[in-house]
Amino acid sequence: MRRVVAIFIGAALAIGLTPAALAAPANAKVFVVHGIPGVAVDVCVGGSEVASDFRYGDVFSAELPPGTYRVKVKAAAPGECVGPAVISERLELTSGLNATAVARLIGGVPGLSVFVNDVSPTDPGEARLTVRHTARAPKVDVWANGQRVLNDVPRGASADLEVPSGVYAVWVSAADGFRPVIGPRVLRLREGFAYQVHAVGTNASNYRFVVIGQEVGTA
């Protein structure tokens, strides 16, 4: 298993990438993960409702032209984008951006953590596994098929692993522990796909993994 060493905090909402070809700006693709248990919400982008009755553990995606958008998350009332917002954040989308926004508790307050997804081609025979610690929990270790692959991952962090395609049992333990706190979850990782595994939740009674897969091709 080949490990990419960079682990970074993905809390910034204004995301800039290397400029794409100016002549043909591409839409940005954004996934949204509901990581706060106990409440159904609506999600509004730029004044339009894009997800109704959005529940804990759900995921949706949207493609949007480059620009700056106001994202509001509010108590579910389908068809309406008015009223108090639980989360209200500005999101700047650049041409060709591929990102995931996770609704989670940040310092005990609902907010969004935004992560840029690596959608570059994988090597032949490999898949990309991205692990994100977005649960309300202390540092954790990450395991795959009985091997500890990441140590002391702090809350809000993300790390990429390039792995041979195949079947993996993935779980999270407390730092320096072994016993699963979240999982195990069995994943089939296919060649040429990138998988995001988000640890979400607020306590041991509701922790879970939310998994997103995208085909990215091989080099």
Q: How many Å separate Cα 53 from the centre of its chain? A: 20
> What does the alpha-carbon distance between residue 13 and residue 114 come to, in Å, rounded to a whole number?
6
Task: Say what the pLDDT of residue 156 is.
Answer: 95
Q: What is the structure's pLDDT at 89?
A: 94
In angstroms, the CA 117 to CA 158 distance is: 10
Strand 109-116 relative to strand 28-34: parallel, antiparallel, unpaired? unpaired
Q: 145 near 169, Cβ under 8 Å?
A: yes
Give the rounded distance of the alpha carbon of 157 from its chain centre: 10
Q: What is the pLDDT of residue 81?
A: 80
Structure tokens belonging to residue 69: 């958008």
pLDDT recorded at residue 219: 82
Q: Is 21 exposed, middle or buried (0-12, 13-18, 19+ CB in 10 A)?
A: exposed
Q: What is the pLDDT along the chain (219 residues), one digit of tens a residue?
A: 544 433 433 434 444 444 444 456 899 999 999 999 998 999 999 888 999 999 999 999 999 999 999 999 998 886 678 778 999 999 999 999 999 999 999 999 999 999 999 999 999 999 999 999 999 999 999 999 999 999 999 999 999 999 999 999 999 999 999 999 999 999 999 999 999 999 999 999 999 999 999 999 998
Please, are residues 29 and 95 in contact by the beta-carbon 8 Å criterion? no
Query: Tokens 């949207």 label which residue?
Result: 62
What's this model's pTM, rounded to 2 decimal places?
0.88
Quote the pLDDT of residue 7: 40
pLDDT confidence of residue 170: 97
Residue-level pLDDT at 76: 87
Closest by CA position to 113, among listed 104, 126, 123: 104
